[in-house]
């Protein structure tokens, strides 16, 4: 590991996932395939929702923004990871590194908040179906989406700016495949306790602001579903939120495992596996989860294809 003593770090070196040439090639092919599916799945979902008017509902309005966030979230990490795997150049400038961290936290925090808004949408649809069109108005939907981006902006601004002010003079080698919070903090040659507190407050408050209304929404949904007498009615009600609940479980589980723990418990192997999952794999899974389990999306795809294939007069 290169020692920089009191020299300010201008370029970081990303160590990546493995030193094995065979593993690098295998991972690059796997990640490229995943990224292509991610791009096609999320952009395809956005285009399908825009083209089919029957999907112009609050649920799919939120799903459009989820697809945009997943595409952006993956694009912040995956292309640079692929470049590092396929080339011998592992360097990333100080500015590029913190830009990557900023955008990563921004889209990650926005997704956490958006998932909470989607849970509220499912609560209204199941618990107040007759008032759904009135409650979930266009104004409220835009307010909720704007709020998710504002939360992401505030979260990443406080967290990243507090880290960027630290001196980095011990080493320039990041023991990770992207510019993540804890691997960067480990390189600082000053006391990072106050910065860690800021990071925990930002991450913890974002999760709590999302988890509390989401938990309340799903408790209310479960209570309503249990009151439904018919089995088919229960299955139909549960199916409307099953996809969202699956996506929430996967995303929140890996995020909490990685970030809401002391820096001293950071484990290179375990945390890298978790990081690969929520930065590269989950953005690919979301469009699959919401499309393969959704009859409306399948029917919309058929309608769009039929319109495209219909002969023009």
pLDDT digits (tens, 9 = 90+) for 35-53: 999 999 999 999 989 988 8
Q: Provide the domain count of the chain.
A: 1
Per-chain mean pLDDT for the chain: 84
- 93 strand-pairing partners: 11
As a whole number of angstroms, the distance between CA 119 and CA 211 comes to 10
Condensed to tens digits (0 to 9), the pLDDT of residues 85-95 reads: 888 778 899 99
pLDDT exceeds 80 at position 2: no
Cβ atoms of residues 265 and 125 within 8 Å: no
Q: What is the DSSP letter of 281?
A: I
- Whether the per-residue pLDDT at 4 is higher than 50: the answer is no
Residue 135 confidence (pLDDT) above 70: yes
Q: Using CA atoms, how far apart are residues 179 and 97, in angstroms rounded to an integer?
A: 6
The stretch 134-143 carries a mean pLDDT of 95
Residue 6 counted as domain residue: no
Residue found by looking up tokens 């020299």 in the block: 7
3-state SS class at 262:
coil
Assess whether pLDDT exceeds 70 at residue 240: no
Q: What are the C-alpha distances in Å from 96 to residues 72, 77, 102?
A: 16, 12, 10
- Is 67 inside any structural domain? yes
Cβ burial of 227 (10 Å; 0-12, 13-18, 19+) is: exposed
Mean pLDDT of 77-92: 88
| Within-domain flag for 205 | yes
Average pLDDT over residues 199-219: 87
Q: What are the angstrom distances between the C-alpha of 98 and each of 11, 171, 227?
A: 11, 16, 50
How far apart are the C-alpha atoms of 32 and 156, rounded to whole Å?
27
The pLDDT of residue 65 is: 95
Whether residue 3 lies inside any domain: the answer is no
**pLDDT tier, 313 (very low <50, low <70, confident <90, very high otherwise):** very low
Q: How confident is the model at residue 295 (pLDDT cuts 50, 70, 90)?
A: confident
Average pLDDT over residues 64-75: 94
Quote the percentage of the chain above a pLDDT of 90.
32
Residues 6+ apart with CB under 8 A from 301: 48, 291
Classify residue 4: in a domain, yes or no.
Answer: no
Q: What is the pLDDT of residue 30?
A: 94
The burial of 211, by beta-carbon neighbours within 10 Å (0-12 exposed, 13-18 middle, 19 or more buried), is given as middle
- Half-sphere exposure of residue 137: CA atoms within 13 angstroms, side-chain side: 5
Give yes or no for residue 13 having a pLDDT over 50.
Answer: yes
Check whether 198 has a pLDDT greater than 60: yes
Average pLDDT over residues 301-312: 71
Q: Is residue 277 part of a domain?
A: yes
The verdict on residue 2 lying in a domain is no
User: Which pLDDT score, from 0 to 100, does residue 259 have?
Assistant: 64
φ/ψ region of 137 (left if φ > 0, alpha if ψ in -120 to 50, else beta) reads beta
H or E segment to which residue 93 belongs: strand 91-93
pLDDT grade, residue 230 (50/70/90)? confident
Domain that includes residue 197, residue range: 11-309
Number of Cβ within a 10 Å radius of residue 13: 18
Which domain CATH number covers 112? 1.20.1070.10
Residue 3 clears pLDDT 70, i.e. is over it? no
Give the H or E element holding residue 112. Answer: helix 94-127
Flag whether 199 is in a domain. Answer: yes
């Amino acid at each position: 590991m290169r020692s920089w003593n009191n020299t300010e770090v201008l370029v970081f070196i990303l160590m990546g996932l493995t030193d094995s040439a065979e593993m690098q090639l295998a991972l690059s092919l796997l990640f490229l395939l995943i990224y292509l599916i991610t791009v096609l799945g999320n952009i395809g979902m956005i285009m399908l929702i825009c083209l089919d008017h029957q999907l112009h509902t609050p649920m799919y309005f939120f799903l459009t923004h989820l697809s945009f966030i997943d595409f952006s979230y993956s694009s912040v990490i995956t292309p640079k990871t692929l470049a590092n795997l396929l080339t011998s150049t592992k360097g990333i400038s100080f500015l590029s590194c913190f830009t990557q961290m900023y955008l990563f936290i921004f889209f990650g925090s926005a997704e956490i908040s958006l998932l909470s808004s989607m849970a509220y949408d499912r609560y209204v649809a199941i618990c107040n179906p007759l008032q759904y069109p009135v409650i979930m108005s266009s104004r409220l939907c835009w307010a909720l989406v704007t709020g998710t981006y504002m939360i992401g902006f505030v979260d990443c601004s406080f967290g990243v700016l507090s880290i960027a002010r630290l001196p980095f003079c011990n080493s320039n080698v990041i023991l990770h495949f992207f510019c993540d919070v804890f691997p960067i903090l480990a390189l600082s040659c000053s006391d990072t306790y106050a910065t860690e507190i800021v990071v925990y407050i930002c991450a913890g408050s974002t999760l709590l602001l999302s988890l509390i209304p989401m938990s309340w929404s799903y408790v209310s949904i479960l209570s309503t579903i249990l009151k439904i007498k018919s089995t088919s009615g229960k299955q139909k009600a549960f199916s409307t939120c099953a996809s969202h609940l699956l996506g929430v479980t996967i995303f929140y589980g890996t995020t909490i495992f990685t970030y809401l723990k002391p820096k001293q418990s950071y484990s290179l192997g375990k945390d890298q596996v978790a990081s690969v999952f929520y930065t590269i794999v989950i953005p690919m899974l979301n469009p699959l989860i919401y499309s393969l389990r959704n009859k409306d999306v399948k029917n919309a795809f058929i309608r769009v294809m039929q319109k495209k294939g219909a002969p023009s007069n």
